[in-house]
Amino acid sequence: MKNQIIAKIKSTKFLGFYLCVCLLGLSAVSAQPNQTVIKLLQESAAFIQAGNFSEAEPLLRRAVSIAPKNADAHNLLGIVFDQQGKIAEIIKRFGRVG
């Protein structure tokens, strides 16, 4: 069951849906989000959807450095690390895997 869930999460369709939800969620935030961060998340989402994870990573790192409490930036960065097989980086940033 767990493997099926992981496979679904890694699927392109689910990833695209997740990206849309994250980006739409930005407009629901009560405080006005930093426009630079929004632009970085939008650009990184386009790279992720195209499978260009190495292009998305520096944008997301910058977004996290500008807005360290932005959950979308952290989540997308975690997805990028996962897709690149950077498990050590996931553990370093998020504490554990699974």
Listed by start position, the domains of the chain span 2-94
Q: Is the pTM of this model over 0.85?
A: no
Residue 42 pLDDT greater than 90, yes or no: yes
pLDDT averaged over every residue in the chain:
78
Instruction: Give kind and range of the element (H or E) at residue 8.
Output: helix 2-10
> Half-sphere exposure of 10 toward its Cβ, with a 13 Å CA cutoff?
11
* pLDDT band, very low/low/confident/very high, at 19 (cuts 50, 70, 90): low
The rounded distance, in Å, linking the Cα atoms of 92 and 69 is 17
The answer for residues whose C-beta is within 8 angstroms of residue 16's C-beta and 6 or more apart is: 49
The residue among 19 and 94 whose pLDDT is bigger is: 94
